[in-house]
A and B are shown apart, each in its own frame.
Chain A
Amino acid sequence: MKVTMHRLIQSAVILLVAVMAIVPMASRSALADDGPTKITVKVTDVGFDPATITVTQGASVELTFLWSQTQNTGDEHIIQISGYNLASDKIDRTNTSSTIKFIATKGGTFSFSCNIECEVHSSLQTGTLKVTAGGTGTAAALTPTKFNVDPAAGVALQGDQVSILGTLTDKDGKPVSKADVTFLIKQQFAGTSGLMEVGTAKTGADGTAQFVYHPTTPDAESMVVRFDGQGLYDATEASVDLPASRNFTPALVEEKEDILTFKFWGKVGFVLVIGGVWSTLLFILFQAFGVSRVKPGSLPEREAREAAGVAAEADLSGGGGGS
C-alpha cells in the first residue's frame, strides 16, 4: 500500500511536470512547421473585425479580407499593408474575399487600410498588423527568384518598338506565375539620373512576362526588370540592354505652323506684359525714392508749390473734390 501510494505521487509529479512543459509550448506560436497562419478579417460598415491582428515573425501568413457590409453595399475596397508593400485584390459584394499570402519577415507594428474612396473610408484606416518575435520551430524563408532574359531571343525589335520577353523562376527553376514584374529605364533629367518605370507585366503559368516598350530615343538604352517578391519570394532584378532602334519615330508629333505662330506671339505678349508691369513698378519706385532728393526752394519744388497754390484757389472757388 505504501509502495502504491509512493508510485501514485511519483506519477502525479511526472504528469504535472509534463503538463507544465507541454502547456507553454502549446500556447507559443508555431512557425512554418505547422503550416501557414490563417487569419480572416471582416470588412464591415464600422471598420475591420478584428482591427488588430498579431502574427509571429517568420510565420507564413494567409490573410483573408472578407467583404461583410450590410449597408453601403456599393462599396469596393483594396486593402494595402504598409511596410510590406502588399495589397489585396479588389473586394466588393460580388467578389467578397481576397487572400494575401506572405511571410512575416519584418518585425514591428504595421498598418493596413483601404486605399479606395469608399463610403466608410475613414473607418477603414485603422487596421493594425503586429509582427512579434518569439515563435518556435523553423521560420519560413523567402524563396529566391531569378528573371532570365535571353539576350538573343528575349529582346526583339518590332518596327519602332522593342519587345522584352523573360521568365521568372524560383531557386529550383520552377516558373513563378501571377507575379507582377516592373520594367524601368535608366533616365537622366535636369542633372539627376534614376530609374523611371515604363510599364508592368504579370507572369503567366509558365513564368513568362512580355513587355513592349516604345523608345523615346533612337539610342541604345539600358532597362532594369524588377520583381519585388510579393511577400513570398526574395526580390530580384535583371538588367537588359536594349538595342538602338533604327526604325525609331518620335512619339511626339511636330507642332503645326499655326500653333507655333500662336505660341510665338503668345510668348512675345507675355514678355511685353510682364516687362511693362515691372518697368512701371521701377518707375514708381523711382518716383518714391525721388522724395528724398526734393529740397525746399528747388525749381521743381517752386513749380509744384505754384501748382498746388493754383489748385487750392480752384478748390476754394469751385468746390471740393476727391483726393
Chain B
Amino acid sequence: MAPLTRTSRAWMVWMGILLALIMAGTVAYATQLKDGLAVTGLNDNVTWGVYISNFVFFSGLGMAGTFISGILRLTGAEWRRPLTRFAELSTVAALTICAIMPAIDMGRPDRVLHLLMYGRLESPLLWDIMVIPTYLTASIIYLFLFLIPDSAILRDKLGGQVSGARRKLYTAVGMKWQALPEQRRRIERAGTIMAVLIIPIGIATHSVVSWIFGMTYRSGWDSTIFAPYFAVGALYSGTAILITLMYVFRRVYRLEDFLTERHFKLLATLMVVFGVAYLYFTFAEFLTMSYKMEASDGALINQLFFGRYAAMVWFGFIGGQIVPVVLAALPWTRKVKILVFASVLVNLGMWLKRLVIVVPSMSAPLLPYEWGAYTPSTVEILITIASFAGFAFIMTVFAKFFPIISIDEMEEGWELEETSEHSTAGAKAPVTLKPQVERA
C-alpha cells in the first residue's frame, strides 16, 4: 500500500515523460484533423497503415487479462492470484488504446456514428464496432468486480493518509463492503459468470479483428485460418506483455516476494505453447500460399520474404517467434531477465508482424498495376509513440490509486492454503505459491 500514499521524484519524472509524449501525439493528431489524412503516408493504394497495425497489436495485448483472469480462474490455478489485477488492467488499458485507433485512422472521425446509422450488419467493420466496446466494457466490469473488496480495505486502512477525494473514491468503489458471506457470494457468482463470459468475448474480438482482413479478397488476407491465427497471436503477445509488465512492477514496487521466479517460468511456459502454436499457423499459412502460388500471392510472397518487407518479416519470424520460444523453453535460459528479454522480443516481433499483415496486402495491386507505396509520416510515428505512452499512462495512474496486486484475492489464497495445510498435514507440499512474507 505504500506506493499509493507516497509519490517519488522518479514517478513524477516518468509521468512528465509520458505526458510530454501524449501531448506530442495530440498535437500531431490536431494537425491531422486540420489538414486531413494527407499528412499521413496513407494514399489511394495503402489506406491502412500503422494506425490499423496498432489497433490489431493493442487488441492482442488485451488478450492477457482474458486469459489469466478468465481461464486460470476457471481452472483454479492458484498461482494466478498475484497476476490477475495487472493482467485485467493491461486488458483495459490496451483495449482503450485499441478502441481509439480506428477513430484516429478515420479521415472524418465526426462521422464515426455513420457506421452505426448507415452501416450494414453484413460488414465485419460493423461487427468490430460492436465487439470492441463490448470487450472493453466487459473488461472494465471484470476489473471493477474485484476492486470492490480492495477499495473497502483501502477505505478502512488508509483513512487519513489520503485526500478526501480519494477516500470518497474508495468509499464509492468499496460499496459498503464488509466481507459478509452474502457479499462474497455475490462477487464470486458475478466473477465466475464473468470469467466464463469473457473468454468467448475475447476470442470473438480477435476473430472479428481477423475477419476484417479475412473476409476480403486480397492476397495475404484471403484465408480461412485467420481467426484462430489471430487469437493464438493475441494469446502469445498477451502472455509476453504480462511477463514484461510483471518484471516492471516487480522492480518498481519491490514485489519480489509476491511475483517470484516461478511465476515468470509458468508464464514463459504458456508463452512457449502459444509461440509454438503461432509458428505452426505461420508455417501452415505460408506453405499453403506458396504451394498454390497464385500469381498475386506469388508477387506478395516475393515482396514479403525477399523484397521491401523482408527485413521486417524475417525479424518477426526469427526474432519474434523462434528466438523467444527457444529462450523460454531451454532450461538454462529460463532466468527472469532472459525471459523478460524474450517477452520484449515477442512484442517487438508481433508489432512488426501486424504491420506486414496490414501494409503489404494493401500495397499489392488488385489489377495488373503498380504496387502502392507507404512510409509512415512523422504524424503517424508521433501518434504511435503517444499510443504506447497512453498505455503506460493508464497503467501508471491506476497503480497510483489502487493496489497492483489484489489484496483480497491474495488473502483468500492464503486462507485456502492454510486450510489445505491444516487438512493435509504430513502429506505432500501444497500446490499454491504462498508468498515468502509475513502476513500484514
How many A-B pairs have beta carbons closer than 8 Å: the answer is: 137
Could you write out 6 A-B pairs with CB less than 8 Å apart?
A116-B373, A266-B122, A287-B186, A291-B176, A319-B423, A321-B76
Q: Are A287 and B180 in contact (CB under 8 A)?
A: no
Known: A283-B193, A288-B190, A316-B419. A301 touches B180 (CB 8 A): yes
Listed stretches A40-48, A155-163, A164-172, A303-311; interface member: A303-311
Q: Are B420 and A323 in contact (CB under 8 A)?
A: no
Cβ–Cβ < 8 Å partners of B118 in chain A? 190
Within 8 A of B (CB), among A145-191: 190
Q: Does B224 contact A (CB under 8 A)?
A: no
Cβ–Cβ < 8 Å partners of A316 in chain B? 419, 422-423
Q: Are A284 and B181 in contact (CB under 8 A)?
A: no
Q: Are A121 and B186 in contact (CB under 8 A)?
A: no
Q: Are B175 and A274 in contact (CB under 8 A)?
A: no
Q: Does A322 contact B (CB under 8 A)?
A: yes
Q: Does A267 contact B (CB under 8 A)?
A: yes
Interface residues on B, range: 35 or more
Q: Does A78 contact B (CB under 8 A)?
A: yes
Cβ–Cβ < 8 Å partners of B130 in chain A? 274
Instruction: Specify the chain A residue showing the minimal Cβ separation from B121.
Output: A267
16 additional A-B residue pairs with CB within 8 Å, beyond A76-B370, A291-B183, A296-B178: A78-B370, A116-B370, A190-B118, A266-B122, A281-B137, A281-B197, A287-B189, A288-B187, A289-B175, A291-B175, A294-B183, A305-B180, A305-B181, A308-B184, A319-B420, A320-B430
Q: Does B145 contact A (CB under 8 A)?
A: yes
Q: Are A294 and B363 in contact (CB under 8 A)?
A: no
Which of A116, A290, A318 interacts with B371 by CB under 8 Å? A116
* A67 to B: closest C-beta gap in Å: 15
B interface footprint on A45-79 (CB within 8 Å = 1, 0 otherwise): 00000000000000000000000000000001010
Q: Does B5 contact A (CB under 8 A)?
A: no
Interface residues on A, range: 35 or more
Within 8 A of B (CB), among A120-137: 121-122, 125
Q: Are B185 and A307 in contact (CB under 8 A)?
A: yes
Q: Are B182 and A301 in contact (CB under 8 A)?
A: yes
Cβ–Cβ < 8 Å partners of A320 in chain B? 416-417, 419-420, 423-424, 430
Q: Does A292 contact B (CB under 8 A)?
A: yes
Cβ–Cβ < 8 Å partners of A117 in chain B? 303, 308, 363, 370-373
Known: A290-B186, A298-B182. A284 touches B145 (CB 8 A): yes
